[in-house]
C-alpha cells in the first residue's frame, strides 16, 4: 500500500494510513486488490474518519472482483469507476502474506496468437473518488501505479525547484490522469501489435509458402474481439462519468469553475483516446478478417489455375486416346493395319493433333502462366 498527501505545495508519501485530512490538498490511497481485501476494516475506518462515510458492500465487491468489466457507479458521497487496463505485463498474482485464508485465485487464462497479445494484461483497476480522498485498488505489483507515483514525486521535486510542473488538483483529476496513462499505455503498443499482425498478413498472402499456424490465428482473432469488447466497456464507463460530471453543482468561485472546466476537458480527452483505441482495435480486427478472406481467395484462384491447366492437358490427350483406342480394336481387317509405315503416320498425326490443340489452348490462355 502506498499513501500520498497531494497539495499545491507538493507530494508527500506517508507510511501509514492518515487519521485526519491534511490542511491543504487531498489523500491518495493506492493498494493492491488482495491487500485491500486483507486490510478492508482499516481502510473503511480511515474513510469514515476522513470522509464521514464508508464504501458500501456492493462497491467493495466490485473493487475486489478481478473479472468485472469497466463500469461507472456513484452515490451521493462518492463515485466508483472500474477501468480494465490494456498494458503489457503479467496477470495478477497474490503477494505473499496479504491474502485471506481460502482457496487461491484461479490461474489466468493463457492467450495464443502474436506474443504481444499474450502479454496484454486486462486486469481491472478500481477508483473510489471522494471529495478529498482517492482510493485506488490495483492488481498486485501494478506498474501503472508505481509509474504514476514516480511521476508525481518527480513533478513535486520539479515544482519545488520552480519548474512549474502542475499537480492534480483534486481526486477526480488524479483519477482521470491515471486512466489516461492506462489508455495511452495501449496506444504505445499499437506499433508492435500492428507489425506482428502485418507479418502474418505477408505470410498469408505469399504465393509460395504454406501457412500452418491456423490455431494461433484463430486465437488472435478471438483476442482482438475480446479487446474490442473491453474497449467498448471502457468507453461506456467514461461516457457515464462525463454525463454525471455535467450534472455537478455550479462551482462557487472562479478558481473552482476553472478546475471544473479543466476536469471536463480532461474527461473528454480521455474519451477521445479511448475512441482511438477502439478504432485501432476494430481496424486490426477488420484487417485480419480481410487478409484471411484474401488468403482463401488467392488459394481458390491458384486451385482454379491448376484445374484449368489439368483440364487443358486432359483435352489435349483426349483425341490421342481416341486414336489409340481405335487402333486397339480387335478387327481382322482395318485400314493401314498391315501397312509398313502406318505406325509412323499414326504417330505423326497424333503429334500434329496434340500440337494444334495445345496451340489453340495457348492462344486462348488456357495454358498461360498466371502465378506470381
> What's the pLDDT score for residue 27?
92
> What's the pLDDT score for residue 101?
38
Average pLDDT on 315-322 reads 83
pLDDT over threshold 90, residue 127: yes
Q: Which residue, among 65, 97, 94, has the nearest Cα to 80 in the 3D structure? A: 65
> What's the pLDDT score for residue 117?
63
pLDDT over threshold 90, residue 129: yes
pLDDT over threshold 50, residue 10: yes
Report the 10 Å Cβ neighbour count for 13.
14
Question: Tell me: the pLDDT tens digits for 37-66?
Answer: 999 999 999 999 999 899 999 999 999 988
> Is 233 within 8 Å of 142 (Cβ atoms)?
no
The cell numbers describing 36, all together, are: 485491500
pLDDT over threshold 50, residue 93: no
User: 84 exposed, middle or buried (CB, 10 Å; 0-12, 13-18, 19+)?
Assistant: buried
> What's the pLDDT score for residue 118?
62
> What's the pLDDT score for residue 94?
40
pLDDT over threshold 80, residue 368: no
Q: Which residue, among 138, 132, 170, has the nearest Cα to 53 in the 3D structure? A: 132
pLDDT over threshold 70, residue 360: yes
> Could you tell me the pTM of the whole model?
0.70
Average pLDDT on 93-106 reads 41
User: Please, what sign has the CA dihedral across residues 167, 168, 174, 176?
Assistant: negative
Average pLDDT on 176-185 reads 85
pLDDT over threshold 50, residue 99: no
Q: Which residue, among 24, 27, 28, has the nearest Cα to 7 in the 3D structure? A: 24
> Is 43 within 8 Å of 91 (Cβ atoms)?
no
> What's the pLDDT score for residue 24?
84
> Is 86 within 8 Å of 227 (Cβ atoms)?
yes
> What's the pLDDT score for residue 102?
39
d(Cα 347, Cα 286) in Å, to the nearest integer?
58
pLDDT over threshold 50, residue 282: yes
> What's the pLDDT score for residue 186?
73
Average pLDDT on 184-203 reads 72
pLDDT over threshold 60, residue 283: yes
Highest mean pLDDT among 11-15, 281-285, 287-291: 11-15
Q: Which residue, among 126, 124, 153, has the nearest Cα to 3 in the 3D structure? A: 153
Average pLDDT on 183-212 reads 72
Q: How many CA atoms lie within 13 A of 98 on its CB side?
A: 17
Q: In sequence order, which ranges of the chain are alpha helices (DSSP H)?
A: 33-38, 40-51, 57-64, 115-118, 143-160, 171-187, 190-205, 214-246, 254-327, 342-363
Q: What is the β-pairing status of strands 87-88 and 79-84? A: unpaired
> What's the pLDDT score for residue 135?
93
Q: With b meaning 16 or more CB within 10 Å and e meaning fewer, what string describes 327-364?
A: eeeeeeeeeeeeeeeeeeebeeebeebeeebbeebeee
290 CA to centre of own chain: 18
Average pLDDT on 156-173 reads 65
Domains and CATH numbers, the chain: 2-298 (3.30.460.20), 308-363 (1.20.58.340)
Cα separation values, 30 from 21, 43, 71, 272, Å: 16, 11, 19, 26
> What's the pLDDT score for residue 115?
59
pLDDT over threshold 80, residue 249: yes
pLDDT over threshold 60, residue 164: no
Average pLDDT score over the chain: 79
* pLDDT cut 70: percent of the chain above it: 82
List Cβ neighbours of 41 (8 Å cut-off, separation of 6 or more): none
User: Please, what sign has the CA dihedral across residues 30, 32, 34, 35?
Assistant: negative
pLDDT over threshold 80, residue 73: yes
pLDDT over threshold 50, residue 167: yes
> What's the pLDDT score for residue 134?
93
> What's the pLDDT score for residue 187?
67
Task: State which H helix or E strand residue 83 sits in.
Answer: strand 79-84
Average pLDDT on 86-99 reads 48
User: Which residues lie across from 135 on neighbouring strands?
Assistant: 29, 128
Amino acid at each position: 500500500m502506498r499513501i500520498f498527501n497531494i497539495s499545491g505545495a507538493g507530494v508527500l508519501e506517508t507510511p501509514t494510513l492518515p487519521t485526519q485530512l491534511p490542511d491543504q490538498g487531498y489523500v491518495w490511497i493506492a493498494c493492491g486488490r488482495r491487500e485491500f481485501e486483507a486490510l478492508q476494516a482499516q481502510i473503511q475506518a480511515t474513510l469514515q474518519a476522513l470522509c464521514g462515510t464508508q464504501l458500501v458492500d456492493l462497491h467493495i465487491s466490485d473493487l475486489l472482483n478481478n473479472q468485472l468489466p469497466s463500469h461507472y457507479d456513484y452515490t451521493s458521497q462518492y463515485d466508483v469507476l472500474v477501468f480494465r487496463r490494456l498494458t503489457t505485463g503479467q496477470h495478477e498474482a497474490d503477494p505473499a502474506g496479504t491474502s485471506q485464508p481460502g482457496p487461491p485465485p484461479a490461474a489466468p487464462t493463457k492467450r495464443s496468437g502474436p506474443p504481444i497479445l499474450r502479454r496484454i494484461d486486462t486486469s481491472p483497476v478500481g477508483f473510489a473518488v471522494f471529495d478529498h480522498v482517492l482510493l485506488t485498488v490495483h492488481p498486485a505489483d501494478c506498474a501503472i501505479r508505481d509509474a504514476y507515483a514516480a511521476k508525481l514525486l518527480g513533478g513535486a521535486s520539479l515544482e519545488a525547484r520552480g519548474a512549474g510542473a502542475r499537480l492534480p488538483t483534486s481526486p477526480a483529476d488524479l483519477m482521470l490522469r491515471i486512466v489516461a496513462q492506462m489508455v495511452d499505455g495501449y496506444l504505445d503498443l499499437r506499433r508492435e501489435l500492428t507489425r506482428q499482425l502485418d507479418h502474418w498478413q505477408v505470410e498469408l498472402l505469399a504465393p509460395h509458402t504454406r501457412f500452418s499456424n491456423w490455431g494461433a490465428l484463430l486465437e488472435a482473432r478471438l483476442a482482438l474481439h475480446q479487446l474490442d469488447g473491453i474497449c467498448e466497456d471502457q468507453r461506456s464507463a467514461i461516457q457515464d462519468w462525463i454525463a454525471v460530471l455535467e450534472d455537478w453543482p455550479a462551482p462557487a468561485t472562479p478558481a473552482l469553475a476553472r478546475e471544473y472546466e479543466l476536469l471536463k476537458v480532461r474527461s473528454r480527452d480521455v474519451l477521445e483516446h479511448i475512441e482511438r483505441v477502439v478504432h485501432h482495435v476494430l481496424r486490426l480486427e477488420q484487417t485480419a478478417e480481410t487478409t484471411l478472406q484474401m488468403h482463401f481467395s488467392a488459394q481458390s484462384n491458384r486451385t482454379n489455375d491448376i484445374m484449368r491447366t489439368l483440364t487443358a492437358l486432359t483435352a489435349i490427350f483426349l483425341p490421342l486416346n481416341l486414336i489409340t483406342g481405335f487402333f486397339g480394336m480387335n478387327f481382322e481387317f482395318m485400314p493401314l493395319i498391315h501397312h509398313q509405315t502406318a505406325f509412323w503416320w499414326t504417330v505423326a498425326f497424333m503429334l500434329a493433333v496434340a500440337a494444334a490443340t495445345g496451340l489453340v489452348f495457348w492462344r486462348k490462355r488456357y495454358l498461360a502462366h498466371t502465378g506470381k
